[in-house]
Amino acid sequence: MTLTVDLIVPDELDAPLTDAWRGMVDANPDLVSPYFQPEFTQVAGAVTPGARVAVFRRGGTVVGFFPHQKRGGAIQPLAAPLNDYHGVIAAPGETIGLEQAADLLKAPRLSVGGWVGPSTGGERRATVQAALPDGYDAWYAERRATFGKYFKDKERARRSLETELGPIRVERGLTDPALLDHLIELKREQYRRTGRHDVFACGWTRDVLHALTRDHRGRFGASMAALWGGDRLAALEISLHATDQYHFWFPAYDPSVARCSPGILLSMDTMRMAAAEGFRVFDYGFQGESYKKYFCNAERRIVEAVIERPGLMRSAGRAAVGLLNATGEGRGSRLGASVRRRWAAIEACEVTTGARLKGALSAVGAAVAKLTPSPATARA
């Protein structure tokens, strides 16, 4: 029977549709992430501009869902660039791949950064996890035996932080809006320092984090963990969690005590506390940062891809990437991928053509600044 698709807004996900969705997630171990829970789409979709849910049917029976957002003629995963895992939530025995989804949605461009499911193209990437099937103590004993020097160093860092600031205190499950605003401002400062696109400048992404921490639904939610040394807040992180999965999301720490690794200490204490509550998998996101190899003992494979149709939107997208490439960042496949990711974040955040152009020009300026030697360097 022919596969058909209807588009609805997240508010139209009624109880029967939500139950069907949840059953599909529970039946597929590839869909374990909190991003695949229907509650993520319901809560985040209520404040995400252009939010839609594709409902796939075969012979009148619902066989799949794909939550997404529209930016002009482009389609992206719902709440991108905040969405780390996405794909079609499909019934057992039903396979709806990336290219088929793009064709059914008649998308001039479908851009994904963490696609879970079948795909014939795109770049294969890995995300990494710390799996704790036997709890935190067993995990830590194995990690410390394998990477003794690293974890002894972190134990010394903990003592140094206590000596400098005072007794360490860690809390998790925090949802205070003021604390979340502080975390967002720390991340924005980080984006300014590093020249990355500020994903919170557009406003609606901030609203998504607030909505998720405010509206917990059954087994799904978002919350913060925080570490204090004495009276000073040294590290803070918001995470998503559902069933036994804990997804580390946006971390920040006080740069003045960076030598004491407060962010690493917070991650370790968060794992210990959350594992005692039944969480067993802690997702650290994409490979890259060197510290992750000491924590993670599992990985998942995802796909980063852009599916395009010939036409104006294809030309517009390539023109934007070409503008960024003109800064010199397009030299080599690794830098080319960085350019594509930067543009994907800009396009996802900014809901108007003018704002997207402004974001692209700002990114060009930041890239040029990185490539331009300082006067002292030029004289050397």
- Identify the sign of the CA torsion 6, 9, 14, 19: positive
**Does the pLDDT at position 198 exceed 70?**
yes
The identity of residue 217, as a single letter, is R
Q: Which two tokens stand for residue 231?
A: 């009276």
Confidence of residue 338 (pLDDT cuts 50, 70, 90): low
When pLDDT is averaged across residues 308-320 and rounded to a whole number, the result is 57
pLDDT at position 111 = 94
Q: Which two tokens stand for residue 102?
A: 């793009």
Which are the contacts of 121, defined by CB distance < 8 A and separation ≥ 6? 98, 99, 305, 307
Residues 120-129 have a mean pLDDT of 95
Rounded Cα distance between 274 and 352, Å, is 40
Judging by DSSP bridges, how do beta strands 168-174 and 220-229 pair with one another? antiparallel
pLDDT at 313: 44
Q: With 60 as the cut, is the pLDDT of residue 87 above it?
A: yes
Query: How does the average pLDDT of the chain come out, rounded?
Result: 89
Q: pLDDT-derived band of residue 310, with 50, 70 and 90 as boundaries? A: low
Of the candidates 337, 318, 329, 331, the one whose C-alpha atom is nearest the C-alpha of residue 366 is 329
Identify the band that residue 196 occupies on the pLDDT scale cut at 50, 70 and 90: confident
DSSP-derived pairing of the beta strands 109-115 and 298-308: antiparallel
Q: What pTM, to 2 d.p., does this model score?
A: 0.89
The 10 Å CB-count burial string (b at 16+, else e) for 9-20 is ebeebeeebbeb
Partners of residue 11 on adjacent β-strands: none
- Rounded to an integer, the average pLDDT of 336-352 is 80
**Count, residues in the chain:** 380
DSSP characters over 334-375: HHHHHHHHHHHHHHHH--SHHHHHHHHHHHHHHHHHHHSPPH
**Phi–psi pair at 297, nearest 5 degrees:** -125, 15
Q: Rounded to 5 degrees, what are φ and ψ at 96?
A: -125, 100
- Residue 179's identity, in one-letter code, is L
For residue 375, name the pLDDT band (cuts at 50, 70, 90): very low
CB under 8 Å, gap of 24 or more: what pairs does 286-289 form? 286/84, 286/125, 286/126, 286/127, 286/128, 287/125, 287/126, 287/127, 287/128
**Hey, how many other C-beta atoms are within 10 angstroms of the C-beta on 340?**
22
Neighbour count for residue 1 (Cβ, 10 Å): 9
